[in-house]
Amino acid sequence: MPPVHAVADSTQPTLGSTPTVPSVEDLLTALGDATCPTEQARIVDEVVHATLPLADSLAARYAGRGIDSEDLTQVARTALVAAVHRYRPDAGRPFTAFAVPTIRGELKRHFRDAGWMVRPPRGMQELRAEVVRAEEDLRHHLGRNPEPAEVAEVVGRSTAEVYDARGCASAFSPGSLDAPTPMGGTVGDLLAAPGDAASDIELRAAVRAELARLSPRERLIVCLRFEDERTQSEIGKVVGVSQMQVSRLLASILRRLRDGLDPATAA
């Protein structure tokens, strides 16, 4: 009689085999079917632990932009938990395709709400985000850093607005006035003090701009009176008017100059 060979039970794992580990999608499907709160919490915990590297990698992409890395990681992980609870397997897309935009959106919202030490207007914040995206796209397309005019054309703004959007990035973490300088002292020591040459330069520039608004004849009168120190009678002979007319002209010119330099004094 031939020997009887034992037939292995195919339902039992054979020696050395690896038990099947459920995928994230399988776990999320089971989560939708679970009715016991304890079972639901266990499945959520498994999914979160399995996808933590995804959240951490997204948070790492935003590191070095003025917000602590640990805060970014916490925001990303919190968004991941929310994505697990909101995901519906029957929506027709994998969990990753749903979670990534959710986590990115929370990270961007965190930057918008908490990342600015000096908060620029909302429009400037949105323009800066457009400029950053346009610069990245152009850098890949051109193989070099794009010029401001090229970025302006892409975002449909002026070059000056692109410069402003770039500049507002420093509002995330503005430099400290107590920071040391290579020559000694602090950055605050380099600021213009009241009454120094900087204020004089600004005043001269403002006066020069207002003088440029005068007519050639009016500029001549001002030059003759305050540079050459001519009398009103002498000025009248040069420009062909009476001394009384020179007096009225000078009064009108000086009033307009004062109003231009300080609009608050304008009548």
pLDDT of residue 18: 39
Query: pLDDT tens digit string along 116-152?
Result: 556 667 788 788 878 888 888 888 888 888 898 999 9
| Of residues 43, 48, 45, 51, the one with CA closest to residue 26 | 43
CA 65, 71, 77, 81 torsion-angle sign = negative
The pLDDT tens digits for 50-71 are 899 999 999 998 887 667 788 8
Do 137 and 154 contact (CB within 8 A), yes or no?
A: yes
Report domain 213-265's class.
Answer: mainly alpha
Taking 50 as the threshold, does the pLDDT of residue 19 lie above it?
Answer: no
Distance in angstroms (rounded) separating the CA atoms of residues 168 and 172: 8
Tell me how many degrees the CA angle 219-260-209 measures, rounded to the nearest 5. Answer: 55
Read off φ and ψ for residue 5, nearest 5 degrees.
-95, 135
Confidence (pLDDT) at 17: 39
pTM: 0.42
Residue at 175: amino acid letter: G
Higher-confidence residue of 232 and 182: namely: 232
CATH 3.40.50.920 given to domain 122-170: no
**All CATH 1.10.10.10 domain ranges in the chain, comma separated:** 122-170
Q: What are the pLDDT digits (tens) for 154-211?
A: 999 999 888 888 877 666 555 667 777 777 777 667 665 655 566 677 778 888 888 8
* Predicted pLDDT at 55: 92
Distance (Å, rounded) from C-alpha 99 to C-alpha 54? Answer: 9
If you classify domain 24-114 with CATH, what class do you get?
Answer: mainly alpha
* Six-digit token string for 40: 């639901």
As a whole number, mean pLDDT of residues 89-99 equals 83
Q: ∠ CA 132-134-139 to the nearest 5 degrees?
A: 95
Contacts with 236 (C-beta within 8 Å, 6 or more apart), sequence order: 242, 243, 245, 246
Model pLDDT, residue 13: 41
Helix axes 232-239, 243-261, angle to 10 degrees: 100
- Residue 3 has what pLDDT? 43
- Determine what percent of the chain is predicted with pLDDT higher than 90: 10
In this prediction, residue 113 has a pLDDT band, given cuts at 50, 70 and 90, of low
Q: What is the mean pLDDT of residues 74-87?
A: 90
Confidence of residue 261 (pLDDT cuts 50, 70, 90): confident
**What is the C-alpha radius of gyration for the chain, rounded to an integer number of angstroms?**
36
Task: Name the more confident of 114 and 154.
Answer: 154
Where in the sequence of the chain do the CATH 1.20.120.1810 domains occur? 24-114
Q: Who has greater pLDDT, 187 or 217? A: 217
Of 8-22, 102-116, 161-175, 201-215, highest mean pLDDT: 201-215
**Is the pLDDT score of 5 beyond 50?**
no
Give the count of beta carbons closer than 10 Å to the beta carbon of residue 209.
Answer: 11
d(CA 75, CA 44): 18
